[in-house]
């Protein structure tokens, strides 16, 4: 067993976050799970805080450091989903998604950096998505938020290099979790979008429900935590690694057209 580490993970009350938290505790690490609701697992140290509230995170992370004297790894995992056409997406919903998915990563990172800098060989892992590289129609804001996380990770890695903090963006493909049923959908779509949105979201949800077991993501993240050097990006799932590779080598417009054929349903 590897030496026990202090690990903080946001969005740990369900889905990938909960699976990762459970797996890491089984590996002997001291895991603090951050979520708005209490985490009912006797092995996960539950911290109730909202990633949209920087002051809550700042106090929570200070409390953790005061107890432990170090934080070996921060995993920014909290996120939400919305689906529907861009035209009919409510501005409030779009702003809230970016506040959780992207600004939440910023808040969490900013609050934790003083303690990661005080911990030798610390790590920071941001959970992004393959959707960051392959933007999906009718999930534009989710794809955008994850693409922003990737850009944030790239800048962060360079800025933190002098402090020897390893930074990585993890990009899972479709994983079976409660995220699918919890995704918020536009309450109204115009007649010019409704059939296409229904078909597209239906394909997307089927892919998710038939996706990978979340334990796979947990095992990948555990391996990353135990590495001395982290890759800038880590894609989870063999076929998704192929998709990301093709996205790199094929013309961008060609790849965009392929995604449109799979999810766009241009003829309604």
- Residues 141/149, Cβ–Cβ less than 8 Å: no
Q: Which fold has domain 6-264?
A: Rossmann fold (3.40.50)
The confidence band for 42, taking pLDDT boundaries of 50, 70 and 90, is: confident
If we measure between CA atoms, which residue out of 16, 21, 68 comes closest to residue 42? 21
Alpha carbon distance 95, 132 (integer Å): 18
Quote the pLDDT of residue 58: 98
Quote the pLDDT of residue 177: 86
Alpha carbon distance 80, 68 (integer Å): 30
Mean pLDDT of the chain: 94
- Across-strand partners of 212? 175
The pLDDT of 53-61, averaged and rounded, is: 98
Of 118 and 205, the structure prediction assigns the larger pLDDT to: 118
Alpha carbon distance 77, 62 (integer Å): 19
Domain coordinates in residue numbering, the chain: 6-264
Alpha helices in the chain (DSSP H): 15-26, 54-68, 91-98, 104-116, 140-160, 179-182, 194-209, 214-225, 238-249, 252-259
If we measure between CA atoms, which residue out of 98, 176, 146, 100 comes closest to residue 244? 146
The confidence band for 268, taking pLDDT boundaries of 50, 70 and 90, is: low
Q: Which helix (H) or strand (E) holds 33?
A: strand 30-35
pLDDT above 50 for 1: no
The pLDDT of 143-169, averaged and rounded, is: 98
Of 208 and 127, the structure prediction assigns the larger pLDDT to: 127
Quote the pLDDT of residue 37: 92
pLDDT in tens, 74-129: 999 999 999 999 999 999 999 999 999 999 999 999 999 999 999 999 999 999 99
Alpha carbon distance 61, 108 (integer Å): 9
For 130, other C-beta atoms within 10 Å of its C-beta total 22
The residues assigned a catalytic role are 13, 128, 142, 146
**Residue bearing tokens 């934080």:** 71
Quote the pLDDT of residue 233: 97
**What is the residue-wise DSSP string for 110-158?**
HHHHHHHTTSTT-EEEEE--GGGTSPPTT-HHHHHHHHHHHHHHHHHHH
């Amino acid at each position: 067993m590897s030496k026990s580490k202090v690990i903080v993970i946001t969005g740990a009350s369900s889905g990938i976050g909960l699976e990762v938290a459970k797996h890491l505790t089984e590996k002997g690490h001291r895991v603090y799970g951050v979520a708005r609701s209490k985490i009912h697992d006797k092995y996960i140290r539950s911290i109730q805080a909202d990633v949209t509230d920087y002051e809550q995170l700042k106090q929570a992370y200070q409390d953790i450091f005061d107890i432990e004297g170090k934080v070996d790894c921060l995993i920014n995992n909290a996120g939400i989903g919305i689906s529907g056409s861009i035209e009919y997406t409510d501005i409030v919903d779009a702003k809230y998604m970016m506040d959780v998915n992207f600004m939440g990563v910023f808040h969490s990172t900013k609050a934790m950096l003083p303690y990661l800098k005080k911990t030798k060989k610390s790590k920071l892992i941001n959970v992004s998505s393959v959707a960051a590289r392959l933007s999906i129609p009718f999930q534009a804001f989710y794809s955008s938020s994850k693409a922003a996380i990737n850009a944030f990770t790239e800048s962060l890695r360079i800025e933190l290099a002098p402090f020897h903090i390893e930074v990585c963006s993890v990009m899972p493909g479709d994983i079976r979790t409660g995220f699918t049923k919890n995704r918020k959908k536009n309450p109204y779509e115009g007649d010019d979008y409704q059939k296409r949105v229904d078909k597209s979201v239906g394909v997307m949800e089927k892919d998710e429900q038939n996706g990978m077991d979340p334990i796979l993501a947990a095992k990948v993240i555990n391996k990353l935590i135990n590495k001395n050097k982290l890759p800038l990006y880590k894609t989870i799932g063999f076929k998704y690694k192929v998709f990301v590779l093709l996205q790199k080598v094929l013309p961008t417009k060609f790849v965009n057209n392929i995604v449109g054929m799979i999810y766009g349903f241009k003829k309604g």
